[in-house]
Amino acid sequence: MLIKLKTDKNDLVIIHTYSYMPTSGYKDEEVEEVYEQLEEVIDTVNKNDNLIILGDWKAVVGEGQDRHAVGKYGLGVRNNRGQRLIDFCNKRNL
C-alpha cells in the first residue's frame, strides 16, 4: 500500500509492505520477489519526497552499526533476512 500526503514543501510518501514478510523458512527466490516488487514501488516515488517504509520484515539486524542502515544499539545476532534488509537499505540509501 502506498499513501502520498501533499505538504507545503516535500510530499510525504508512506509505503506499507506485506503485514508479514517471508520468514527464513521461505525460499530466497520468494523473498527476492517481494523486494523486487517493493523496489518497483519505490521507483515511482519522487526523489524529493520524504519516504517512510513500514512493515514486519521478519528480520533480525543484530548488534553493530552498519553504515546508515543500522544504528549502534541493535539487538541479537543478525540473521539472513536481517542481512538482506540491510543490503536493501544500503543499496537504496535508506
| pLDDT of 76 | 87
Burial, 18: exposed, middle or buried (Cβ in 10 Å; 0-12, 13-18, 19+)? middle
Q: What is the pLDDT of residues 16-51, one digit of tens each?
A: 986 668 877 888 898 899 899 999 999 999 999 999
- Start-to-end Cα distance in the chain: 18
Residue with cell 514478510: 21
pLDDT score recorded for residue 19: 65
pLDDT bucket at 11, cuts 50 / 70 / 90: very high
Whole-number pLDDT of residue 62:
87
Q: For residue range 41-79, what is the model confidence (pLDDT) as tens digits?
A: 999 999 999 999 998 888 888 888 888 888 888 788 988
Q: What is the CA 90 to chain-centroid distance, rounded? A: 10
Tell me the whole-structure pTM to 2 decimals: 0.82
Distance CA 42, CA 44 (A): 5
Domain boundaries, the chain: 2-91
